[in-house]
Structure 1
Amino acid sequence: MTVKTFLLPDLGEGLTEAELVRWMVAAGDIVAVDQPIAEVETAKSLVEIPCPYEGVVSTLHGEAGQMMLVDEPFISVNTGGEEAAAAPESNGERAQSYREEELAGTQVPAGHAAQDSEEDEGSGNVLIGYGTGSAQRKTSRRRKPRVMGAGDSVAVQEAREAVRVINPLVRKLARENSLDISSVKGSGPQGLILRSDVEAALARPVQEPSASASLALGSPQASTATAAKTGQAAAVGDKDSRTGLPVASSELLAGVRKTIANAMSTSRREIPEATVWVDVDVTKLLKLRSKIKEAEGQAPSVMALISRFAVAGLQRFPELNSRIEVESDGSLRHTLFEGVNLGFAAQTERGLVVPNVRGAHKLNAQELSAEFARLASVARDGKAGVADLSGSTFTINNYGVFNVDGSAAIINYPEAAILGLGRIIDKPWVVNGRLKVRSICELTLSFDHRVCDGGTAAGFLRYVADAMTDPKRALATL
């Protein structure tokens, strides 16, 4: 028989892992090519994984709720025939030492050369198309070996003696949690350290300091042990060591919440942001929308009309439709775009997501309104693809739907700005020297201070606000 193992596909946008939501097949089931076999969650969306093989399911390499790594075994299928099974070991591991990760192919470890020459008859690990073989895939990840001199022998020896882990992600997980990877006992072949080994080590309670160490209250070791114990998460029902209160729940962030947390942290850490805001009289805007609805039977949403003004504003202040990236040497690269991919914040049962309208600068208000509705529906159903939820260059956040006036929103990294819309409420407002009741909306703009100064940000915000105040005049010039 021939057993073929399908690796978790590259889901795009640099994603390296996905949470397995559910299997749609079981061991022993007959599957066809392109039949959906599982549902995974990544990039804040649900993605169905199709099977590239026809045959009988042999092994499912994971359970619901488990984080699966890209390029690791996902499912094995018995396709029949008399060829020898070419499936990898059940854990699908290929260890890399720390030095091997650093050198990225300076030396091809023993046994790997033959591995590289084999050709995978499967999908080539691409979600759509299944077009590339393993040789092509691995070439993109590893540079060609160089000729090594005598001075390299020490580094090679250290590489072979370094702690062996399943992949760099496991080492990163340990590093981010201040865990000494050399203290972890690997449960894989020949002591290979798996992700589960690191997670188990992180979950173990902190050891009490010895009697002699506890006497040395001023020692760094005692301080470190005390801090580690204090920061340890207590079990449900236990008292929290910091607050003394019973613990209602305690769990590691995963899936959507983990993705959101990482994105928000990156934005705050990388972007020096500033915020400007202004109150806007939108009475005329609401009246114009009502007239359009009466005349045509339907009208663009208020957010679509404001978005049209924002897109026009970005053409006049392009710095806000850009991004800054850090080069390998530490220098900053500022990239401006021709055209706008307009993101908008959408609250779903799975959490906050940001679908984006590609080529928003080409659409009128009615078309923008239709796209907002379509993408919001797809996102709430959890069916938005990676392209729907990535690649935006500017974002609008309508937090007025939550009945609040304003918010200093966090920029959707790596964009340069985010425009916020507050609720529309009636307020006393001075018009031509007279006090009147008008419909007022607060408009806020959070922007990356590296791409522009306050004058540019204020100019953009003022342009959008003026267009909202006098929409007929603004639409006549678009």
Structure 2
Amino acid sequence: MSADVNTGTREFILPDLGEGLTEAELISWKVEIGDEVHVDQMVVEVESAKSVVELPCPYAGQVVSLHANAGDTVSAGQALLTVAEAGVEMGAGDEGDGGTPASVSQSGSSTENSSGANLIGYGTSEPKTRSAKKRSFGGKHAAAPAVPTVIPDAPSQPPAETPASPSNSSTTANDRVSPVSSPLVRKLAKDHGISAKSLPGTGPGGVVTRADVMAAIESGAGAAAHVPAGTSPAKASSPAASSDQSDRDTRTPITGLRKVVSERLTKSRQEIPEATIWLDVDATELLATKKALEARTGEKYSLLSLVARFVVAGLKKYPIINSSIDTAAGEIVTHGDINLGLAAQTPRGLMVPVVHGAGELSLRQLRDSVSGTVGKAASGKFDPSELTGGTFTLNNYGVFGVDGSAPIINLPEVAMLGLGRIKDRPWVVDGELTVRKVMYLSFVFDHRACDGQEPSEFLTFVADCIENPISLLPEL
């Protein structure tokens, strides 16, 4: 939290997101500059690697500046907006300086509004007095003047104590260095051969935004316009060829959930000595049981919920499969609770929401929990608590029309079961060739936790339950 007790302004910073998360992408603002806000009013929507959340402002007053744009990546501790408390009149120039509070005497006072829903990092105690240094949007501790200073292109010359007057400055726009708020903006500019800091910024306080970079790209300012000194134009890429290439290529920054998924899957492949086994299973009786159960109860049961019930029974029978590896301690942790993760494709990407306490649920309760989880996958908006604590993952990729896969284990778990599509195939029953409903089960396990016996027995148990559901009755 940052505050200027003299001007009565408050900076609402991005709070600690928990779960080791340090950044989020700003999705949309719920307020605009000049709006009046009250304590705990939702002002911004951000997307972390775990979930999409709306954040409440802990202060009441008038919004005088917004420090980031939709699509920008913001870090925990970075200012999101500045609020002038009720009864404080802002000067005419306060909005134009990017929302950074001006420095005045230390005699002013303000009353912090008490919030009933404090964010992490915000309390109800009076803030400590801080020096009146300005902060740029490019860094958490960087100092910046209220108006961007024109910096000459001569690093050996010390900066002037006061900004040069526009009428006396001979510095051109190309020599200016503008603040850039987002690494994504800098990368976008760099990919097109543009120095983002050399562009005129239209954001608060002269910040260079994505729109500024896109305008420069569309105007033809690319790699050809920024040939390094000493490089002949003949050695530079052809502007036409570069333009054609950039028109055909699409670059998508790896951020948010995609970044976390990439890191976790990469670590899983690097760290785990995994092995995969599979079985083809006759699911004809499973489909018949589902139909009979629905006819008898008048309720709907998904195949996924039925298989989930078999999996829970198998995990109770072979608890080593319901384990995780504590690499730091060098220990195998066998869990007492069964928290069943369900790999789900969402608009945000691959997520694994968790049905907690699945081992204690009845078939009907498990069905309802699985159904609710699958329903939320359509939006991808899960509470952070729903995405943590899993002990085993079930992956139904058959819905995508594929038969099998070698799934990647969801760290720190030690195993995952994959379900393929159900399809009519030739099958031998009682010595006779017939057509049956057949599916493939793919099971991947961590060889550090167990050898081949327990995984094979677990997979065979689940397969037997699918082929003959009544065989599960003794396990209930």
Common fold: TM-score over 0.5:
yes
- The corresponding residue for 1:289 is 290
State the 1:360 CA deviation. Answer: 1.1
Contact 2:65 2:82 (C-alpha < 8 Å) held by counterparts = yes
Deviation at 1:406, TM superposition (A): 0.6
Instruction: Tell me the residue number matched to 2:35.
Output: 29
Partners of 1:317 and 1:132 in 2: how far apart? 50
**Alignment check: 8 A CA contact 1:10 1:125 kept:** no
Alignment: residue pair count: 378
- Residue ranges of structure 2 left out of the alignment (5+ in a row): 1-6, 91-96, 101-110, 129-137, 142-154, 156-176, 194-222
User: Shift in Å at residue 19 of structure 1?
Assistant: 0.4
Q: Does 1:321 align with 2:322?
A: yes
Q: CA deviation at 1:292?
A: 0.8
Aligned partner letter, 1:377: G
Q: Does 1:14 align with 2:12?
A: no
Q: Please tell me whether residue 203 in structure 1 is matched to residue 190 in structure 2.
A: yes
Distance 1:209 1:365 in 2: 71
- 1:69-218 → structure 2 map (5 Å cutoff): 69-80=75-86, 127=119, 166=139, 196=182, 200=186, 203=190
Change (3 A) 1:376 1:10: farther
Letter aligned with residue 446 of structure 1: V
Name the residue aligned to 2:458.
460
Deviation of 1:194 after TM superposition, in Å, equals 8.3
- Give the aligned residue type for 1:430: V
Instruction: Say whether the 8 Å CA contact 2:72–2:184 is kept in structure 1.
Output: no
Structural mapping, 1:78-477, within 5 Å: 78-80=84-86, 127=119, 166=139, 196=182, 200=186, 203=190, 237-238=244-245, 247-327=248-328, 332-477=330-475
Tell me by how many angstroms 1:198 deviates.
Answer: 9.8
Identity percentage of aligned residues: 43
Q: Is the 8 A contact 2:73 2:183 kept in 1?
A: no
Question: Normalising by structure 1, what TM-score?
Answer: 0.69
Shift of 1:456: 1.6
> Cα distance 1:53–1:409, how it changes in 2: closer, same or farther (>3 A)?
same
| Alpha-carbon RMSD | 4.1
Deviation at 1:75, TM superposition (A): 2.2
Deviation at 1:388, TM superposition (A): 1.6
- Residues 320 and 40 of structure 1: is their aligned pair in 2 closer, same or farther, counting only changes over 3 Å? same
Task: Please state whether the residue corresponding to 2:16 is helix, strand or coil.
Answer: coil
Deviation of the 1:199 alpha carbon: 7.1
> The residue matched to 2:83 in structure 1 has which SS?
strand
Give the letter for the 1:80 counterpart: A
**1:368-402 per-position Cα deviation (integer Å, ceiling 9, x unaligned):** 22222212222322421111222211111111111
The amino acid that maps onto 2:447 is H
| Residues 17-26 or 318-327, more deviating | 318-327
Contact residue 6 and residue 125 of structure 1 kept, 8 A: no
Rounded to whole Å, the distance in 2 between the matches of 1:259 and 1:439 is 37
1:80-99 Cα deviation digits (max 9, x unpaired): 35799xxxx9799xxxxxxx
Partner of 1:41: 47
Name the SS for the 1:75 alignment partner.
strand
- Which 5+ residue runs of structure 1 have no aligned equivalent? 93-118, 137-164, 169-182, 184-190, 212-228, 240-245
Which structure shows the bigger proportion of residues in helix conformation?
Answer: 1
CA distances 1:301-340 after superposition (whole Å, capped 9, x unpaired): 111111111111112222222222332xxx5232221111
Q: Measured at CA, do residues 258 and 197 of structure 1 come closer, stay the same or move farther in structure 2, by a change above 3 Å?
A: closer
Distance 1:91 1:447, change over 3 A: farther
Aligned pair 1:57/2:99, yes or no?
no
Paired letter, 2:186: A
Write the distance in 1 (CA, Å) between the matches of 2:255 and 2:37: 30
Rounded to whole Å, the distance in 1 between the matches of 2:67 and 2:112 is 18
Q: Is the 8 A contact 2:15 2:121 kept in 1?
A: no
- C-alpha distance in 2, partners of 1:432/1:251? 55
Per the alignment, do residues 198 and 40 of structure 1 end up closer, same or farther by CA in structure 2, a change over 3 Å counting? closer
The separation in 2 between residues aligned to 1:419 and 1:447, in whole angstroms, is 9
> For the Cα contact (< 8 Å) 1:124–1:132, is it kept in 2?
no
1 CA distance for matches of 2:357 and 2:465? 21
**Alpha carbons 2:60, 2:86 under 8 Å: kept:** no
Matched AA of 2:462: V
Point out the more displaced range, 449-458 or 19-28: 449-458
Q: 1:325 to 1:291 in 2, by over 3 A?
A: same
Q: What do residues 161-206 of structure 1 show as CA deviations (whole Å, max 9, x unaligned)?
A: xxxx9579xxxxxxxxxxxxxx9xxxxxxx9x98747973892759
Distance 1:332 1:382, change over 3 A: same
Distance 1:311 1:198, change over 3 A: closer
Counterpart residue number, 1:177 = none
CA contact (8 A) 1:236 1:249 kept: no
Equivalent residue letter for 2:431 = G
Aligned residue number for residue 95 of structure 1: none
**Structure-2 change in CA distance of 1:127 and 1:288 (3 Å):** farther
Q: Deviations over 1:220-242 (max 9, x none)?
A: xxxxxxxxx99xxx966228xxx
Contact 1:3–1:80 at 8 Å: present in 2 too? no
Residue deviations 1:96-128 (CA, integer Å, cap 9, x gap): xxxxxxxxxxxxxxxxxxxxxxx9977799647
Deviations 1:3-33 (A, max 9, x none): 1222212222111111000001111111122
Deviations 1:415-455 (A, max 9, x none): 21111001111222222222222211111111111111121
CA contact (8 A) 1:125 1:132 kept: no
Report the CA distance shift for 1:91/1:392 in structure 2 as closer, same or farther (over 3 A).
farther
